[in-house]
Amino acid sequence: MAMEKEPMRKKVCIIHTGGTIGMARTDYGYSPKNGFIQSALSKIEELSSSDMPEFDLIEYDPLLDSSDISVREWKKVGRDIEKRYEDYEGFLILHGTDTMAYTASALSFMFEELTKPIILTGSQIPLFEKRNDARDNLITGLMIAGNYSIPEVCLYFGNKLIRGNRATKVSSDDLIAFDSPNFPYLADAGVRIALNQKNIRKPGNGLRLTQFQEHQIAVLKIFPGIQFEVFENIMTTNLKGIVIEAFGAGNIPENHGALVRILEKAKENGTIIVVCTQCLKGSAILGEYEASRGLIKAGAISGYDMTVEAAVTKLYYLLSLGYDIDHIKKLMETNLRGELEKPTL
Ligand code: ASP
Q: Are the beta carbons of 253 and 290 closer than 8 angstroms? A: no
Q: Tell whether the torsion through CA atoms of 30, 34, 35 and 37 is positive or negative.
A: positive
> How far does residue 78's CA lie from ligand 1's centre (Å)?
20
Which ligand 1 atom is nearest residue 67's CA?
A: 4
Ligand 1 pocket, 124 CB below 6 A? yes
Distances (CA, A) of 90 to 53, 106, 143, 215, 279: 10, 18, 10, 30, 34
Q: Are the beta carbons of 38 and 63 closer than 8 angstroms? A: no
Task: With cut-offs at 50, 70 and 90, classify the pLDDT of residue 254.
Answer: confident
Confidence at residue 206, expressed as pLDDT on a 0 to 100 scale: 87
Looking at 169-173, 192-196, 257-261, 287-291, which range is the least confident one?
257-261
Which ligand 1 atom is nearest residue 21's CA?
A: 7
Ligand 1 pocket, 133 CB below 6 A? no
Q: Are the beta carbons of 46 and 122 closer than 8 angstroms? A: no
Q: Are the beta carbons of 319 and 214 closer than 8 angstroms? A: no
Q: Are the beta carbons of 127 and 153 closer than 8 angstroms? A: no
**Sequence-ordered strand ranges (E) for 90-227:** 90-94, 111-112, 118-121, 153-157, 160-163, 168-169, 178-179, 187-189, 193-195, 208-209, 216-221
Confidence at residue 6, expressed as pLDDT on a 0 to 100 scale: 66
Confidence at residue 4, expressed as pLDDT on a 0 to 100 scale: 66
Model pLDDT for residues 259-308, shown as the tens digit of each residue:
888 888 999 999 999 999 999 999 999 998 888 888 999 899 999 999 99
Task: Output phi, psi for 95, to 5 deg.
Answer: -150, 150
Share of the chain above pLDDT 90, in %: 86
Model pLDDT for residues 11-69, shown as the tens digit of each residue:
999 999 999 999 999 999 999 999 999 999 999 998 999 889 999 999 999 999 999 99
Mutate to test the pocket of ligand 1, among 25, 33, 60, 97 (most ligand atoms within 8 A of CB): 97
Q: What angle do CA 201, 205, 206 make, to 5 degrees?
A: 130
Q: What number is the average pLDDT over the span 173-180?
A: 97
Ligand 1 pocket, 97 CB below 6 A? yes
pLDDT surpasses 60 at 1 = no
Look at ligand 1, atom 7, and give the residue with the nearest C-alpha: 96
- Three-state secondary structure call for residue 240: strand
Model pLDDT for residues 309-344, shown as the tens digit of each residue:
999 999 999 999 999 999 999 999 999 999 999 988
Look at ligand 1, atom 3, and give the residue with the nearest C-alpha: 96
Active site annotation includes 344: no
